[in-house]
Amino acid sequence: MATNWTCILVDLDGTIADSAPGITASLAYMFEEMGYPVPSADELRAYVGPPIVDSFRDRAGFTPVEAAQALSIYRRHYMEGNNANGSDIFPGMPEVLKTLHATGIPLSLATSKPEFPASVILDHANLTQYFRVMAGASIDEIRSAKKDVVAEAITRLKMIGADVSNPVMIGDRFYDIEGAAEHGIPTIYVDWGYGNPGEAEGSLAVVSKAEELLPLLLPS
């Protein structure tokens, strides 16, 4: 099924990095600090993937003021606690990114995580070198929905002169599939991330190991 993709967008949490432990630890701290019961491990894990302010509203039921306070506490703990540096990288993903970069196909990060902590994770794993563009949520979270992040990634790729006529997305949640589809971009779904059963619906293909990505992404 190899297609001559002109650029590749890649999600971070659950696709490249196993960042859930650090995220859920900082979420648990936030709930304690705000005087709320700490949700179960499964409930905390459900926060990984979608824009976090949306989850504060939709899952925690926070008001806009509470969500802003929660975001401040969460971010401080996440960065000061070195949780970004502690994110493991999923097996095989460094080799996949290195191989794709070597072909000359432009790679862009496309994550709902703010760009600074995302860059910390990639820098710590020595993976930043493989990306021509880094697109993430804005610091004020106004740009955090995946469709908006994908739009920003495409814009930045155009700015460096990349061919964006045939892009593809790689992600682990239905947010990736739906956000990319808003721009007519297909998604290859990785099932080692944080998705739930059924979330792969609408994807172009599903892979269970990183090396399975290469036959789908390398030029034919």
pLDDT in tens, 131-154: 999 999 887 777 778 999 999 999
pLDDT tens for 88-119 read 999 999 999 999 999 999 999 999 998 988 99
Confidence check: pLDDT of 206 > 90: yes
Instruction: Name the DSSP class of 203.
Output: -
Burial class of residue 40, CB neighbours in 10 A (0-12, 13-18, 19+): exposed
Residue 172 falls within a domain, yes or no? Answer: yes
Residue 13 and residue 29 share a domain? no
Q: Are residues 177 and 196 in the same domain?
A: yes
Tell which of 64, 80, 96 closes a domain.
80
Which CATH number belongs to the domain containing residue 188 in this structure? 3.40.50.1000
Q: Are residues 101 and 68 in the same domain?
A: no
Q: Tell whether the model's pLDDT for residue 122 goes beyond 90.
A: yes
> Is residue 83 over pLDDT 70?
no
Distance, CA of 207 to CA of 53 (rounded, Å) = 29
- Quickly state the pLDDT bin for 60 (edges 50, 70, 90): very high
Q: Are residues 11 and 50 in the same domain?
A: no
Q: Would you say residue 46 lies in a domain? A: yes
pLDDT digit string, tens, across residues 43-56: 999 898 788 888 99
The boundaries of the domain holding residue 100 are 7-18+87-217
Residue 1 lies in a domain: no
Domain CATH for 52: 1.10.150.240
Residue 84 has pLDDT above 70, yes or no: no
pLDDT for 2 beyond 60? no
Q: Of 33, 48, 80, which residue is a domain's last?
A: 80
Number of domains into which the chain is organized: 2
Residue 87 is given by DSSP the state P
- Picking from 80, 100, 124, the residue at the C-terminal end of a domain is 80
The answer to pTM > 0.85 is yes
Residue 85: pLDDT band with limits 50, 70, 90: low
Is 164 in the same domain as 182? Answer: yes
Task: Give me the pLDDT at residue 190, please.
Answer: 98
Of 214, 206, 210, nearest to 174 by C-alpha is 206
Tell me the average pLDDT across 40-68.
92
Q: Are residues 190 and 100 in the same domain?
A: yes
Alpha helix ranges (H) inside 81-217: 93-103, 115-124, 146-159, 174-181, 213-217
